[in-house]
């Protein structure tokens, strides 16, 4: 990922939404008030990886309008999961307030969780969310290495689960994508959220948890046309 991201020819402007070194967004292009800006959020179990190493997925998102954003956030265990969710919200508000635009948030893995959380919390700013192999029900983490390692509390697991916070709301503006060869739990969670809340579910052929990003990086793959169609439906000519 780092090599491919280092080869990306886009130029970026960094904007801070907080005082920490990871509290920033990087913008390529000049977002228009009339357009919906795609914003990418990386994964890493909320505890690893960085925005810069995911730049390789940005050109395909940039191609639609000539602008794209890449959002960084602080990590577990240095901050709590609710603080990470708040970081993402702060970054998205900064983008919207600075450029006067609405955003479509595209996230992978833990970033998918953050994308769907932001769509519920900031409905006037986040008009679409795309979660690629995301987490929507955090309760299974109670039995995983992650809870003990980073100190997730029962309140975190319940209050930060999109499956729960979307109860009573329709998620027509949410697209859920899972690789065909992804592990069963990711399929289960995405299909459960889609059926419960009216989101759209799409399976990406011949991909697993990491190679699904290769599809996102292709303008002629499965994901980019789906994302563009969702955005176009919310921003008609």
Three-state DSSP string of the chain: CHHHHHCCCCCCEEEECCCCCCCEEEEECCCCCCCEEEEEECCCCCCCCCCHHHHHHHHHHHCCCCCEEEECCCCCCCCCHHHHHHHHHHHHHHHHHHHCCEEEEEEECHHHHHHHHHHHHCCCCEEEEEEECCCCCCHHHHHCHHHHHHCCCHHHHHHCCHHHHCCCCCCCCEEEEEECCCCHHHHHHHHHHHHHHCCEEEEECCCCCCCHHHHHCCCCCCHHHHHHHHHHHHCCC
Confidence of residue 147 (pLDDT cuts 50, 70, 90): confident
Q: Model confidence over 108-140: pLDDT tens digits?
A: 999 999 999 999 999 999 999 999 999 999 999
What is d(CA 188, CA 47) in angstroms, rounded to the nearest whole number? 23
Percentage of the chain beyond pLDDT 70 is: 98
Do strands 13-16 and 24-28 pair parallel, antiparallel, or not at all (unpaired)?
antiparallel
Q: Give residue-wise pLDDT tens across range 213-225.
A: 999 999 999 999 9
How far apart (Å, rounded) are the C-alpha atoms in residues 139 and 118?
Answer: 19
Name all domains of the chain by residue range, CATH numbers in brackets.
2-234 (3.40.50.1820)
Cis-peptide into 77, omega within 30 deg: yes
Of 42-51, 153-162, 186-195, which gets the smallest average pLDDT? Answer: 153-162
- pLDDT computed for residue 236 by the predictor: 57
pLDDT surpassing 90 at residue 196: yes
Confidence of residue 237 (pLDDT cuts 50, 70, 90): low
| Mean pLDDT, the chain, whole residue set | 94
**Can you tell me the mean pLDDT for 206-211?**
97
Q: Are 135 and 192 contacting, i.e. CB atoms less than 8 angstroms apart? A: no
Range 169-173 average pLDDT: 93
Once rounded to an integer, what is the mean pLDDT over residues 26-35?
94
């Amino acid at each position: 990922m780092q090599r491919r991201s280092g080869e990306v020819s886009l130029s970026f402007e960094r904007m801070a939404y907080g005082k920490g070194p990871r509290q920033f967004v990087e913008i390529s292009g000049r977002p228009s008030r009339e357009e919906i800006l795609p914003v990418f959020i990386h994964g890493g179990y909320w505890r690893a990886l960085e925005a810069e190493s995911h730049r390789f997925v940005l050109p395909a998102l940039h191609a639609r309008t000539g602008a794209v954003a890449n959002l960084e956030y602080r990590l577990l265990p240095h901050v709590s999961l609710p603080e990470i969710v708040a970081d993402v919200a702060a970054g998205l508000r900064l983008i919207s307030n600075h450029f006067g635009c609405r955003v479509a948030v595209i996230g992978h893995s833990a970033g998918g969780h953050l994308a769907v959380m932001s769509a519920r919390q900031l409905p006037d700013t986040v008009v679409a969310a795309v979660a690629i192999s995301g987490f929507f029900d955090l309760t299974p983490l109670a039995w995983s290495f992650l809870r003990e390692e980073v100190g997730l509390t029962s309140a975190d697991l319940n209050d930060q689960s999109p499956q729960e916070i979307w109860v009573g709301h329709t998620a027509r503006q949410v697209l859920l994508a899972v690789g065909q060869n992804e592990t069963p739990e990711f399929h289960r969670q995405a299909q459960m959220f889609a059926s419960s809340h009216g989101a759209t579910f799409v399976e990406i052929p011949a991909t697993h948890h990491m190679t699904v990003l290769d599809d996102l990086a292709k303008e002629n793959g499965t994901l980019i046309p789906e994302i563009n169609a969702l955005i176009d439906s919310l921003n008609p000519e």
